[in-house]
Amino acid sequence: MSVSPQDLIRPEVLAMAGYHVPSAAGLVKLDAMENPYPLPPELQRALAERLAAVAINRYPAPSYTRLKALVREKLGVPAGAEVLLGNGSDELITMMSVATAKPGATVVAPAPSFVMYDLSTRLAGATYVPVPLAADLSLDLPAMLAAIERHRPALVWLAYPNNPTGNCFARADVEAILAVAPGLVVLDEAYQPFALDSWMDALPAHDNLVVMRTVSKLGLAGIRIGYMAAAPRWIAEFDKVRPPYNVSVLDEAAAEFALEHLDVLLAQAARLREDRGHLAAALAALPGVAVFPSRANFLLVRVPDSTAVAAGMRERGVLIKDVGRMHPLLAGCLRLTVGTPDENAAMLDALRGALAARAGR
Ligand SMILES: Cc1ncc(COP(=O)(O)O)c(C=O)c1O
């Protein structure tokens, strides 16, 4: 008997496009908000030694006690909040989506925002309710409050700063949402090292607040470690849907090592924050380019035709992200990751070239 995917696979999955990651082979890669700086050579050698001693014949100890203690100590989780680790914050998003997807459950988030909120909600079988941002890309607070009132969402996702817009929402708006949300409000602080603003300290004051972070943008995107902090009674429930060995022993050891040398990563983030300012100024000086303010390690810019410009930049050896068709508010927009000074210069050259070619010069 033959069976087809149409017979077997859930319609939500059949309808999905999946998460497309374009090849960056041979290109300057400025499309994924990675930290462009590797660890210094002496730390790379020390890390290699540390990893060589890891017992890869054993399963991880699923309590991850030492890594969690380092996260608490180095990354400022307040006393009274509990920590849960994920295989990247992507997995934490999945875990929260799955655990809360009771029949009829809804999830509210501003739009545009991080695409995995939508994808994970649909995969979990819940209903995703996107609420468009205001024209200036701030939260449309009346619309958010109305959606929360109407849909009584199990989860509200707020990326702080938001991806792909790069801004932090007004704290008073977030407070207003925390005050009325009947479910959990997740502050996704993936870009916190570049924003220097956080909701972590607000955890003790809000039982319905979850703060989620990742080490990806700090310079460890390859090792897939995210963490969330919340009141212990929430963490205890989410921990039940966590695959027991979700963080590998190599990821665990590498993350512990990186946190022991957090100063190096924070210095790299400081460098990127500084270069973000230089890059924004250089971009704003290009005719036809509008730059949005950013608190993240990327810049959102509007150009005359984002698809043509992104293709032109790719031809010139630079990969960035065309977000122009992601949402009407982003029409004509590109998302540019802040790289090294050389990468930023290459990006500016490619952008200049692509704009000139489009204008027929
Ligand atoms: C807002 C936001 N949250 C989470 C993530 C995913 O992070 P991780 O690498 O930890 O899965 C991203 C990645 O781009 C992001 O933009």
Q: pLDDT by residue (tens digit) across 240-273?
A: 999 999 999 999 999 999 999 999 999 999 999 9
More confident residue, 151 or 360: 151
Q: What is the pLDDT of residue 87?
A: 96
Q: Span 274-302, mean pLDDT?
A: 97
Atom of ligand 1 nearest to the CA of 89: 10
**Mean of the per-residue pLDDT values of the chain:** 96
Average pLDDT over residues 11-34: 90
Whether 174 and 181 have beta carbons less than 8 Å apart is answered as no
Cα 142 vs. chain centroid, distance in angstroms? 25
Decide: 265 and 218 in contact? Cβ < 8 Å: yes
Specify the pLDDT at position 170.
98
State the average pLDDT over residues 116-126.
Answer: 96
Calpha distance 256→247 (Å, rounded):
12
Best substitution site from 29, 34, 87, 116 to test ligand 1's pocket, by max atoms within 8 Å of Cβ?
A: 116
User: Which of 89, 321, 323 for mutating ligand 1's site (highest number of atoms within 8 Å of CB)?
Assistant: 89
Per-residue pLDDT reduced to its tens digit, 95-114: 999 999 999 999 999 999 99
> What Cα–Cα distance (Å) separates residue 43 from each residue in 48, 109, 168?
8, 40, 33
Q: How far is the CA of 93 from the centre of ligand 1 (A)?
A: 9
Provide, rounded to the nearest whole percent, the portion of the chain with pLDDT above 70.
Answer: 100
Name the residue with tokens 């009584």. 152
pLDDT at 21 over 90: no
Q: Where in the chain is the domain with CATH 3.40.640.10?
A: 56-261
20 pLDDT band, cuts 50/70/90, is: confident
Q: Which residues pair with 106 in a beta bridge?
A: 127
Backbone φ, ψ for residue 165 (5° rounding): -85, -25
Q: What pTM, to 2 d.p., does this model score?
A: 0.96
Residue among 357, 310, 317, 361 nearest 336 (CA) = 310
Minimum CA distance residue for ligand 1 atom 2: 190
pLDDT at 125 over 80: yes
CA of 25 to the centre of ligand 1 (A): 22
Q: What is the mean pLDDT of residues 341-359?
A: 96
Range list for CATH 3.90.1150.10 in the chain: 5-40+263-359
pLDDT over 90, % of the chain:
94
Residues with CB under 6 A from ligand 1: 33, 88-90, 114, 159, 163, 188, 190, 214, 216, 221, 226
Residue 19 clears pLDDT 80, i.e. is over it: no
Please give the average per-residue pLDDT across 304-324, as a whole number. 97
pLDDT band at 152 (very low <50, low <70, confident <90, very high): very high
Q: Which atom of ligand 1 is nearest to the CA of 216?
A: 9
Give me ligand 1 centre to Cα 212, in Å.
Answer: 10
pLDDT at 292: 98
Q: What is the DSSP string of 267-331?
A: HHHHHHHHHHHHHHHHHHTSTT-EE---SSSEEEEE-S-HHHHHHHHHHTTEE-EE-TTT-GGGT
DSSP state of 218: I
| Ligand 1 atom with minimal separation from the 162 CA | 1
Q: Say whether pLDDT at 1 is over 80.
A: no
Determine the pLDDT at residue 176.
98
Class of domain 56-261: alpha beta
Residue 361 has pLDDT above 70, yes or no: no
Which tokens hold the place of 20?
Answer: 């497309």
Dist CA 347 CA 64 (whole Å): 40
Give, for ligand 1, the residue of 75, 90, 92 to mutate: max count of ligand atoms closer than 8 Å to Cβ: 90
- Mean pLDDT within 173-179: 98
- Cα distance between residue 304 and residue 307, in whole Å: 9
Q: Does domain 5-40+263-359 have CATH number 3.40.50.620?
A: no
Nearest to 195 by CA among 92, 293, 78: 293
CB-based contact 217:297 (threshold 8 Å): yes
Task: Tell me which of 160, 216, 300 to substitute to probe ligand 1's pocket, judged by most ligand atoms within 8 Å of the beta carbon.
Answer: 216
- Residue 12 pLDDT greater than 90, yes or no: no
Coil, strand or helix at 195: helix
- Distance (angstroms) between ligand 1 centre and the Cα of 357 equals 34
What is residue 339's predicted lDDT score, i.e. its pLDDT?
Answer: 98
